[in-house]
Every structure is written in C-alpha cells, then in structure tokens.
Amino acid sequence: MRRIRGVLVVLAVAALAACSSGGSESSDGGGADMAGPEVSQEQAEAGDGASVSDQGAVGRDVATETGERQVITTAHATVVVDDPEEAATDLAALTTAAGGHVQNRSVHQGEDDADYQSLPSASMTLRVPSAELEGVLTDLTDLGDVRDISQSSEDVTRTIVDLDARISALETSTARLEEIMAGAETSADLIDAEAALSERQAELESLLSQREHLADQVAMSTLHVELTTEPAPEVTADGFVGGLQTGWQALVSFVSVLVVTVGVLLPWLVLLAIPAAIIFVVTKRRRRRNTAPAGESEPEVAHSESS
C-alpha cells in the first residue's frame, strides 16, 4: 500500500513539474523528460507524501539551525591623533599584520587661510579577517584617543543555504543536459539542449558570483576609521603681561580702523579739494582787487590836508 501511494505522489509531482516548466523550457525537447526522473528519484528517496519544495525548506531550516552562523560584520571608529597621516600609515601596517588589507585611504593636510580653516584628517576603509576584528579595534588605542566605536552585524546564513541549494540543483541540471546533448539523435534536439544548457550555465554563474561575494563579506569584516585632530587650545595671559597684550591688540585694532577710515575718506577728500582750491583762488583775487584802490586814495587825502 505504501508503494502504491508513493507511485501516485510521484506521478502528481511529475505532472506539476511539467506544467510549471512549460513556459520557460518550451524549446527544450528533453526538459520535461529530464525533470521527471529527478523528481521521481528524490521522492522515492524521501519515502513519504511531502513535496520536493517542502523537503528542501525543511533541509535548509535544519542546516540553518545546526550549521555555523554566517554573519557579515561592519564597524566604524573615530580616533583623535596628533598626526593623521602618520597614524594612517601605522594603521595600514597594523591591518596588514592582522591579515587584512586597505581598501580605501584618503588624507587631508588641512588649510589655514584667512577665509577658511580646516584641520588635518584621514579616512580609511579596511578589510580585516572577522576573527581579528576585535583585536584591531582594541589596538586602535595605540594610535590615539578612541572617541567612538559602532558595530553592526547581518546574519546571512539562510541566504547562503538557499544559494547553495540552488547552485547544487543547477549543477545537477547542467550535468543532465550535457548527457542529453551527448545522446541527442537529431539536430533539433541538440539545439534545444544547447539553448537550455546556456540558460542554466548563465544562471549558475550568477549564483556562484553572489555566493562568492557573500563568502568574502563573511570572512573579511569591513572597518571604517576616521582619524582627526583637535584644535590647539588658546592660551590667555593674566596680570601685567595680559594687560600689555590686551593694550597692544587694542592699538593694532585702532590703527587698522584708522587706516581703513583714511582709505575710505581719501577719494572724497581729493574730490572736495578741487572745488575748495578754486574757491580759495577766486576769493584771494577778489581781496586783492578790493584792497588796491583803497591804498592809492590814501596819499591824495593826505596831500589835501597839508595844503
């Protein structure tokens, strides 16, 4: 009775697989025939009424619970140092010693202009083996004052398990298609098998690339480090020295304001000096004309009085 039930389930699953693959594999003459034996074999091995997709989901859940967790870790840190460029060199050496490498590095020398001022700084992106990340974060204290550290993790165990299952299925399907191509009797069957094989190989390469990227992210953690400096403190003097400094600064400020004021007024003074000079010259000439006749009349008056 159990064997009969297994045969009935096999036939039902084969029919469902043929219907679902009709749209994507209509050009593959041996695709439906190939899917049937695979499903039948897996169902026969299962020995119960569960579907293949349910068995795969249960298998992935078991692998997720019992297998090693796959976690992607990313960390950020800010360190205050005396010389960011030198600290960046030391941090690169520290990363290399831990088995990692520098992915990105930028150094800013700083600017000290009258209009804009910025402090020296450096920014680094490091790839560190996941097992060595905590040690590298601890060693940051050797570079300077660690101000803040943040760390985040992403569990990708289920994603990797799903990718592995899909990759395994595609590899099996690719191998079956290669066997079909080897035993193809007509050109049409060979062409259909080649088209299906090319599609599966492209999908397989994409999945392998995703799997490799996730494996790299899990194995090597990413660490972003900002190296900065603090502005120099302003020293203020007290007593006589402080008063002398304050007086000197006041004198310099007064002279600066005076120079600016003269510079602003000088064009106006020049402009006003021209009409003032003309008025002065005209006024002086009028005075000369008015005083000349008065001087000549004085002798005549004196002469008349004497006579």
Q: How far, in Å, CA of 177 to CA of 183, rounded? A: 10
- On the question of pLDDT at 102 being above 60, the answer is yes
Model confidence band, residue 115 (pLDDT cutoffs 50, 70, 90): low
At 69, which amino acid appears?
A: R
Residue 67: helix, strand or coil by DSSP? Answer: coil
Model confidence band, residue 123 (pLDDT cutoffs 50, 70, 90): very high
Bigger pLDDT: 160 vs 277: 160
Is 101:127 a contact under the CB 8 Å cutoff?
yes
Closest CA to 224 of 126, 99, 147: 126
Model confidence band, residue 168 (pLDDT cutoffs 50, 70, 90): very high
Would you say domain 71-154 falls under CATH 3.30.70? yes
DSSP state of 183: T
Q: What percentage of the chain has pLDDT greater than the value 70? A: 67
pLDDT tens sequence across 46-93: 333 333 334 344 444 444 444 688 999 999 999 999 999 999 999 999
pLDDT tens sequence across 219-244: 999 999 999 998 655 555 566 767 77
Domains of the chain: which residue ranges? Answer: 1-49, 71-154
C-alpha distances in angstroms, 136 versus 16, 95, 106, 130?
A: 54, 7, 20, 10
